[in-house]
Amino acid sequence: MADGPCRVELRGWGWRHAGRKDWALRGVDLVLEPGERVLLLGPSGAGKSTLLAALAGLPDPETAGESEGVLLVDGRPARDVRLRTGLVLQDPETQVVMARAGDDVAFGLENRSFPETAIWPRVREALDTVRFPYGLDRATSQLSGGEKQRLAIAGVLALRPGLLLLDEPTANLDPDGARVVRGAVAAVLDEVGCTTVLVEHRVAAALPLVDRVFVLEPGGGVVADGAPAEVFSRHGETLAARGVWVPGRRLPRRPAGSPPSRLVVAAERAGYRYPGSAQAATPPTDLALRAGEAVVLTGPNGSGKSTLAMMLAGLRTPTSGTVVAAGHQKPLSAWRARELAGTVGTVFQEPEHQFLTRTVRDEVLLGPRLRGVGEPAAEALLPRLRLEHLAAANPFTLSGGEKRRLSVATALATSPSALVLDEPTFGQDATTWTELLELLAGLRDEGSALLAVTHDEEFAEALGDRHVTAQVA
């Protein structure tokens, strides 16, 4: 199989997921010459992740959906040259397959029959490139979402692919980690020169990595294609109106109009240590959630933010200290699911972990049906979060941004007193980001207590009434 950067050609290409009436993509014409670096943009649900998966040769037209037109990598169907491509997905959980970090990076090389003497130098080089903070024996089960993302990127970089496909590679990383990864990607591109397609909502930060911008139209066609400066100067207003992130645009701010009131949930010296680990995942922490206040929890990857959030949501039992709801002595983690859902709603970092039904509508209505509360109010969340047209779709077939909005809808459906959200703006375009901000700010102003774990600095500034920084234990 040929070495060097790949050439990509799409002519009138489209894809429709199995069971869907509408096409995810249609009429896509694109030629990437070897070594080109493209930033792929478009509103949430425009098919960006679908296109990356197709370029990687993953979807099977016989079982996963229907394709039309031509998609070629180095002149051949993408499925025939999958060894030439490397794909980093939005969700690192789907790419971490081994119990130890070093073995996970080596997995792809071993499957491609690299000699053992060549594997481990590449593994160490890739881990050093992304500044992975642990040794080869680190248990992958003890990694944070951001650390798993670095590991997934290292596994792909170790392969030195001819076509590198990156689906929001810094979305789960803290700002410093994101800068490290962008630097690592830049170094690999300069050294290997692979053709690259990057999906990234942090557009301004991503522009130094690319020489071309390609914007998809939801459902079909292309809005813009060209050099970054030309695309944003000629089409900036149109793109912004369609929800595409455009560098330099001012974002709204929504601080609370009044001080917080009653206590809803409180952590007192709550900490967590994984079984067998010598180091605490979350050090003993005091944190109170009050009605009418939005708390944003930030900090570096591996500082236990998600673990603390799950304890405050009653979904993880602290190994030290307590988490209780106001007026109750029983620890929140000991509550039954039905009563917990009426007090704390949770948005997981990986939305797929909370999907239980076969359709979007049933997913939103599941909580209200179990608790015997109003279904009409829950169903009204579908148009509010731009999910109404997907009501009959399987939740697992949604885009990353759509899955995130669905997870928010399921958390809100039972009208909880407190809402714990882990990376709520992941995968959102500028329009849905603003709508989520307004929705959450409105809930806070109506008396809900909010905790948002986020690496999105703009969102933290826009919503946060109180900022808490987690520290590595």
194-223 residue pLDDT tens: 999 999 888 988 999 999 999 998 777 788
Query: Is the per-residue pLDDT at 384 higher than 80?
Result: yes
For the chain, which domains are there? 8-241 (3.40.50.300), 290-309+332-469 (3.40.50.300)
Asked whether the whole model's pTM tops 0.85, one would answer no
pLDDT at site 77: 94
Query: Is the per-residue pLDDT at 417 higher than 50?
Result: yes
pLDDT at site 381: 92
Which of 384, 382, 383 has its CA nearest to residue 359?
382
Q: Are 81 and 56 contacting, i.e. CB atoms less than 8 angstroms apart?
A: no
Q: Are 105 and 123 contacting, i.e. CB atoms less than 8 angstroms apart?
A: yes
Q: Calculate mean pLDDT across residues 310-318.
A: 95
Q: Hey, how many other C-beta atoms are within 10 angstroms of the C-beta on 208?
A: 12
Sort strands 282-290 and 263-272 into parallel, antiparallel or unpaired.
Answer: antiparallel
Q: For 144, which DSSP code?
A: -
Residue 64 one-letter amino acid: A
Residue 130 one-letter amino acid: V
Q: Provide CB contacts within 8 A for 409, sequence distance 6+.
A: 363, 364, 378, 381, 382, 385, 387
Q: Provide CB contacts within 8 A for 343, sequence distance 6+.
A: 264, 265, 314, 325, 332, 335, 416, 417, 418
Residue 115 one-letter amino acid: P
Query: What does the alpha-carbon distance between residue 360 and residue 20 come to, in Å, rounded to a whole number?
Result: 13
Q: Tell me the per-residue pLDDT of 56-90, one tens digit each, with 9 for 90 and over.
A: 998 877 778 899 999 999 999 999 999 899 998 87
pLDDT at site 173: 78
pLDDT at site 1: 47
Query: What does the alpha-carbon distance between residue 461 and residue 147 come to, in Å, rounded to a whole number?
Result: 24
Identify the weakest region by mean pLDDT among 73-82, 101-110, 368-377: 368-377
Q: Tell me the per-residue pLDDT of 437-464, one tens digit each, with 9 for 90 and over.
A: 999 999 999 999 999 999 999 999 999 9
Identify the weakest region by mean pLDDT among 249-258, 273-282, 443-452: 273-282
Query: Is the per-residue pLDDT at 112 higher than 90?
Result: no
